[in-house]
């Protein structure tokens, strides 16, 4: 992430703050949450890729952008990203990965689960800022599905109010 401050190893709040700064780059829309995500090699404390909602063409989500950008950096298609992830890949995301997409695209939970087919077992931990509000697709069971598949989900507390404020910018008040 160009211009970002280096984050100390295992500084989960530091990575979540950087993910929040990414979310702020997402254009406010009435039909999307503004989310930021950072894919990290936890062993080396190296950022592998970053992403935010609508960063890439199409109705793209933050986690999707991370995986697409990492795949491109490794010169593979997204379907092969599992084979090039390091053994200690984790992802920080300001909001629980979606389990259902209201329009097209594969849900982010499916993308994360697909990484488990890789030689190193894919993404093993998802660090979360907030649970997805039940605004667009109802109750999100993304965390439940990830945990059922053996992926550890860890809440990173302290930024919830700011994350939700950024995530819902552009939404019409009900």
Q: Where are the beta strands (DSSP E) in the chain?
A: 36-41, 46-52, 89-95, 125-130, 152-155
Backbone angles phi, psi at 150, to 5 degrees: 90, 5
Question: Residue 91's beta-bridge partner residues?
Answer: 39, 126
Of the residues 63, 96, 132, 134, which is catalytic?
Answer: 63
Please tell me whether residue 74 adopts helix, strand or coil conformation.
Answer: coil
State the CB neighbour count (10 A cutoff) for residue 78.
Answer: 17
Instruction: Give dist(CA 128, CA 119) in Å, integer.
Output: 25
Q: Is 21 a catalytic residue?
A: no
Please tell me whether residue 84 adopts helix, strand or coil conformation.
Answer: helix
- Which are the catalytic amino acids? 63
């Amino acid at each position: 992430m160009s211009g970002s401050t280096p984050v100390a190893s295992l500084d989960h709040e530091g990575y979540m703050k950087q993910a929040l700064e990414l979310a702020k780059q997402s254009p406010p829309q009435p039909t999307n949450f503004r989310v930021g995500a950072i894919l990290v090699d936890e062993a080396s404390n190296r950022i592998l890729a970053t992403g935010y909602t609508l960063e890439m063409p199409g109705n793209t989500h933050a986690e999707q952008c991370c995986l697409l950008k990492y795949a491109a950096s490794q010169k593979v298609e997204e379907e092969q990203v599992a084979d090039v992830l390091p053994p200690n890949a984790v992802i920080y995301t300001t909001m629980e990965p979606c389990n259902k997409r209201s329009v097209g695209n594969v849900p982010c939970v499916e993308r994360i689960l697909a990484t488990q087919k890789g030689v190193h077992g894919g993404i093993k931990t998802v660090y979360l800022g907030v649970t997805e509000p039940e605004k667009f697709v109802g109750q999100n069971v993304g965390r439940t599905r990830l945990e059922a598949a053996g992926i550890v989900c860890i809440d990173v507390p302290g930024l919830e109010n700011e994350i939700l404020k950024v995530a819902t910018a552009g939404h019409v008040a009900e």
